Amino acid sequence: MGYELRVQRESPLAYAELTKVTASAHAGLELRGTPEAAEVFARHGDAEYAVAIWQGRLYGQPTSDWEVAQLARLAGMLGGRLVGEDGEAYDIRDGVVAQVNGDASYEFGKLEEIISLGPAQWSA
C-alpha cells in the first residue's frame, strides 16, 4: 500500500455529488462502480488511469505528479481539499500544483504542464 491522499470537506461527500462532478464535460474524469465501491479514471492519450478510489470516502495512492495533480483538481471541483497522511495539503494556486505543510511548501509545477506530460511514475 502506498501513501494515501484523501479528499476532505466540511460536509461529507456523497456519491451522488461525485457522480455529478465526474460526469461534467470539463472534468475529463469518469466514475465507474457502485455507491459502495468505485474508481475515478482520467485519460492520457489512448489510455485510462485510475486516480481515485471511492469507498464511502474519496482517496488515492498516487505514483506520479500527474496523479497528484488529478486528485488536487478533483478535490477542488468537489469543494474540498486534498490532504496527506501527515496532514500536509495539496492544492492548485494560480495554476501551480503545490504541497503545503505549515510554513513549508513544495511546488510540483504548472497544472497544465503536469497534465500534458502524463502519468510518468516516480522513481523508487
For helices 65-77 and 15-23, angle between their N-to-C axes, nearest 10 degrees: 110
Any domain includes 122: no
**Residue range of the domain that includes 92:** 5-117
Any domain includes 37: yes
Tens of pLDDT, residues 86-112: 999 999 999 999 999 999 999 999 999
- The residue written with cell numbers 511514475 in the block is 121
What's the total number of domains in the chain?
Answer: 1
Q: Which of the residue ranges 5-9, 21-25, 45-49, 96-100 would you say has the lowest mean pLDDT?
A: 21-25
Any domain includes 70: yes
8 Å CB contact between 66 and 114: yes
Q: Which grid coordinates are listed for 17?
A: 455529488
Any domain includes 124: no
Q: Tell which wins on pLDDT, 52 or 24.
A: 52
The predicted pLDDT at position 123 comes to 59
Over 60: is that where the pLDDT of 83 sits? yes
Tens of pLDDT, residues 52-68: 999 999 999 999 999 99
Confidence (pTM): 0.92
| Banded pLDDT at 124 (limits 50, 70, 90) | low
The predicted pLDDT at position 75 comes to 96
Count of residues making up the chain: 124
Any domain includes 123: no
Any domain includes 75: yes
